[in-house]
A = this chain, B = another copy of it.
Amino acid sequence: MRNTAMILVNCADRKGLVATVAEFVFRHNGNILHTDEHTDEESKRFLMRLEFDPSGLDIGLDEFAASFAPVAENIGMTWRLARSDQRPKMAILVSKYDHCLVDLLHRHRSGELRCDIPVIISNHPDTKPIADFYGIPFFVVTVTKDTKVEAEQKQIALIRDHDCDFVVLARYMQVLSNDFVATFPHRIINIHHSFLPAFIGAKPYHQAFERGVKLIGATSHYVTAVLDDGPIIEQDVVRISHRNSVEDLIQKGRDLEKVVLSRAVRWHVENRVLLYGNKTVVFD
């Protein structure tokens, strides 16, 4: 896989944004590989992901960014430069259910996820052998009602000590405090085992079974202060029938959860997810 660079834009819409970026890359002899852009009609917000091959650039990428800054400022463009050779660092929080953890670690080892995983934190020791097998440092931070504040401080310290850029909740069974969430704004990815906004909160498969739905779903989203309400990154569903017990729903749901979470993580890692309001654009 070759290395690429990305200009990511998220600002108020105005004429000339595409032209300005494309012209700048061209002038410095970059080769545009993909351009994706979206204008939200309601909020008049402009979002763009322009990926280019920097190998032929007439200047270094740092200098490129420094030169682009005044050009962008001139037309009021908020942007950042991302580079595929700078791998983001992902912390994983997990409880006892291990299917999402195994899935992420196997994908990571197979090269599917271009990130590093410096640390796994769990409130139970059960998944330590898996972490050991994949050679990832594993820490147990026990969480009880009384020690939650303290436990979260330990978790935050571990995430920071390992220089992590974002956090993935791989079926982590504790609700995070608003303080925790605010520490990593739009940098925590959760997998909820329902087709949100249906079946918010606890035991969604039981809720789905009770309601008699014909499809069950899974939703990966950024965590915000409101439970299960953050910007949705990816969702998918699978058909069920009256023959299926709650246990069958849980089993079928595991396959959904793994795929939906891994897609969301991959897109986040590849800088394909941009935020506006409480929504995401996914430039896949």
Contacts and interface: CB of A to CB of B under 8 A. Distances in A.
Contacts of A29: 15
User: In this complex, which of A98, A234, A242 has the most chain B Cβ atoms within 10 angstroms of its Cβ?
Assistant: A242
A215 B242 contact: no
Nearest to A15: B31
Interface residues of A, number: 63
Interface stretch (A16-24, A62-70, A80-88, A157-165): A16-24
Interface of A: 15-19, 22-23, 25-27, 29-41, 98-99, 102, 106, 110, 112, 129, 133, 195-199, 211-215, 217, 231-232, 234-237, 239, 241-243, 245, 251, 255, 259, 277-282, 284
A65 to B, nearest CB: 18
Contact of A212 (B17, B217, B236, B280): B280
A259 to B, nearest CB: 6
Contact of A197 (B41, B211, B237): B211
